Amino acid sequence: MLALGAALLASGCAGPESQLSSALASAGLPPSVSTCMARRMVDQLSIGQLLKLRSLGGLADRPVADLSAREFLRRVRALKDPEILAVTGSALARCGLGV
């Protein structure tokens, strides 16, 4: 399973940080916030956790301006991984999108 996760993250030219940044932006966060958060989160989470976060990419079913930090964290909480929630919440607060 770990090898599969590593292969998925390594596929293409983009590294884990870039892929996470893209997933966060696809989830509805502003690109500058997504880049800042990915930089902080990529070394703190496992490959499996990063793959879980990639599943958030389908959240942008409404305009970015409508996705509040509180709503984003609610969706992260639904992943049911306390470490992902803690790391994401910390990165979100540090990267300028107030909760």
pLDDT tens digits, one per residue of 49-89: 988 887 776 555 555 455 677 888 888 999 999 999 999 99
Cα–Cα separations (whole angstroms), residue 96 to 7, 34, 47, 88: 32, 10, 25, 13
pTM reported for the whole predicted model = 0.73
Distance CA 64, CA 59 (A): 10
| pLDDT above 70: percentage of residues in the chain | 72
Higher local confidence (pLDDT), 58 or 28: 28
Q: Decide: helix, strand or coil at residue 13.
A: coil
